[in-house]
């Protein structure tokens, strides 16, 4: 019987399974009492046989109830799936609505749905419709709508898994994304979103040394190289929103660099490393961090090609990195200083010692190790677009699993999942033990302080 129809604890409605079991238990007790007093039942059956019958009846009743519950859960899942698909269909229809507010709400709903679950079959049947609607928003929408449409298109490519469908969609929207990115009069938010979309969609849907890859690399370079120093070595004055756009383009570019062959990487190293080193003096903290991470990634790729690779003016680079890793200027926000110091300590440590601090990302019963700057750039790119849904996609999206070498998705049955869960009581015991350990440790410290005083 479905849980939703059960009454409160201790209740027994007529005709319910609980009432039936109670009646059987009472009749068993009465029969056993009668036999004990020398009375025999009408059937003449022994106590053991009668008890066995009761237990078998109870067992079969429980089995029937569990079957009903499982069936009810399956029905609930199908119903929830149908409701979700109906809502998504309505959102797709709303993308063509005359009201900009309605279109923005639909784009936000699609963004949340695409990032939090897999919808491959649903989207495969409607990819052309969705692409047409997104193209319309990119061409005719406001800056906010363009930014949202570019993000949803990126998620669509990730959902389609980087196959022919994603490549076809990328080729379809590449011209309009390019137009918005290079348009100086367009919204900065829209241009940033288009830069991220170009980088991720190209990474997902194109092959190495493909024409689209070369075009996209050159396009993104044209954006962030405007922050490079001039011939006199002076950095240009940053325009409002410029560092954010340059950082987004640089991150997208560095993601695509991980696809390039060794011959192309060697050319990129010679051209970009010295100029990126100068950009470490940028006034924007987020752009400085993007530059530092890109330098570390390029040096890592250079060392993979040639074990004896040396950075030009290595001493000057290390001095700049040390300054940023220990920056304590009060005119900068405290959180910015902390974030900058943390990142540049890692970059400096890698440049000097070729040592990377590993990171372990857990999802479900699996883990993925981030053990290089290349893998960090790839993971951060997916995390930026998928946000909290990145772990769900790592667990079930075959595209991400192939990229990170995880193999086929692991499917666990309900019993295994339940067994792997920690009960509330176990959590309580663990927290209690941890609390006692902390209390003892603090007591020891207090005692030592008292002795010193």
Could you report the per-residue pLDDT of 140-182, keeping only the tens digit for each? 999 999 999 999 999 999 999 877 888 888 889 999 999 999 9
Establish if 381 belongs to a structural domain: yes
Helix residue ranges, H only, 326-423:
334-353, 373-386, 390-396, 398-403, 414-420
In the prediction, which pLDDT does 274 show?
92
237 found inside a domain: no
Residues near 349 by Cβ (< 8 Å), separated by ≥ 6? 355, 357
How many domains does one find in the chain? 2
In a domain, 435, yes or no: no
Query: Is position 286 within any domain?
Result: no
Task: Supply the mean pLDDT for the chain.
Answer: 81
Task: Return the DSSP state at 225.
Answer: G
Residue 32 has pLDDT above 70, yes or no: no
Handedness of CA 198, 204, 210, 214 (dihedral sign): positive
Residue 292 forms part of a structural domain: no
Residues 217-262: pLDDT tens digits? 999 999 999 999 988 888 888 888 999 999 999 999 999 999 999 9
* pLDDT band of 210, cuts 50, 70, 90: confident
pLDDT reported for residue 13: 43
pLDDT of residue 12: 41
Dist. CA 150–CA 239, nearest whole Å: 23
Neighbouring CB atoms inside 10 A of 427's CB total: 10
10 assigned to some structural domain: yes
Burial degree of 436 (CB within 10 A; 0-12, 13-18, 19+): exposed
User: Angle between the 285-305 and 373-386 helix axes, to the nearest 10 degrees?
Assistant: 140
In terms of residue numbers, what domain contains 69? 3-80
Residue 365 covered by a domain: yes
Whether residue 155 lies inside any domain: the answer is no
Please give the pLDDT value at position 421: 53
Kindly state the tokens that stand for 209.
């040394």
State which of 80, 100, 133 marks the end of a domain: 80
Residue 252: name the closest of 282, 284, 217, 222 by CA: 217
- The pLDDT score that the predictor gives to residue 205 is 85
- Which of 80, 103, 129 is the C-terminal boundary of a domain? 80
> Any alpha helices (H) in 95-210, and if so which ranges?
100-116, 120-124, 127-140, 143-160, 164-182, 188-205
Q: Which of 57, 80, 103 finishes a domain?
A: 80
């Amino acid at each position: 019987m479905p849980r939703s129809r059960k009454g409160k604890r201790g209740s027994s409605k007529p005709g319910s399974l609980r009432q039936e079991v109670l009646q059987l238990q009472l009749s068993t007790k009465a029969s056993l009492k009668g036999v004990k007093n020398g009375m025999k039942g009408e059937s003449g059956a022994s106590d053991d046989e009668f008890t066995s019958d009761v237990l078998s009846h109870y067992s079969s009743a429980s089995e029937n109830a569990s079957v009903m519950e499982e069936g009810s859960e399956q029905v609930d899942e199908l119903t929830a799936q149908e409701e979700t698909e109906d809502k998504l269909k309505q959102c797709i229809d709303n993308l063509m609505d005359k009201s900009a507010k309605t279109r923005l709400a639909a784009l936000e709903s699609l963004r949340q749905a695409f990032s939090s679950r897999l919808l491959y079959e649903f989207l495969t049947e409607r990819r052309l419709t969705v692409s047409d609607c997104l193209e319309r928003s990119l061409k005719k929408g406001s800056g906010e709508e363009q930014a949202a449409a570019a993000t949803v298109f990126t998620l669509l490519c990730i959902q389609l898994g980087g196959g022919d469908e994603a490549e076809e969609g990328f080729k379809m929207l590449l011209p309009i994304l390019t137009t918005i990115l290079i348009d100086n009069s367009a919204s900065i938010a829209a241009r940033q979103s288009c830069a991220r979309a170009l980088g991720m969609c190209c990474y997902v849907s194109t092959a190495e040394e493909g024409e689209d890859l070369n075009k996209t690399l050159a396009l993104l370079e044209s954006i962030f190289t405007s922050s490079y120093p001039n011939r006199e070595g002076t950095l240009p004055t940053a325009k409002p929103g410029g560092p954010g756009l340059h950082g987004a383009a640089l991150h997208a570019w560095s993601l695509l660099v991980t696809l390039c062959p060794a011959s192309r990487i060697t050319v990129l190293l010679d051209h970009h490393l010295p100029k990126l080193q100068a950009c470490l003096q940028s006034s924007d903290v987020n752009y400085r961090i993007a530059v530092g991470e890109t330098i570390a990634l390029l040096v890592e790729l250079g060392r993979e090609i040639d074990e004896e690779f040396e950075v030009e003016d290595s001493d000057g680079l290390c001095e700049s990195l040390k300054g940023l890793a220990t920056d304590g200027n009060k005119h900068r926000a405290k959180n910015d200083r902390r974030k900058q110091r943390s990142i540049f300590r890692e970059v400096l440590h890698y440049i000097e010692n070729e040592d990377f601090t590993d990171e372990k990302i857990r999802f479900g019963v699996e883990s993925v190790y981030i053990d290089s700057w290349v893998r960090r750039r790839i993971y951060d790119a997916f995390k930026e677009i998928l946000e909290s849904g990145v772990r769900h996609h790592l667990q079930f999206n075959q595209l991400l699993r192939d990229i990170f070498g995880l193999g086929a998705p692991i499917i666990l049955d309900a019993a295994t999942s339940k067994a792997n869960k920690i009960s509330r009581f176990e959590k309580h015991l663990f927290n209690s033990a941890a609390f006692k350990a902390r209390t003892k440790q603090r007591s020891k410290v207090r005692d030592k302080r008292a002795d010193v005083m």
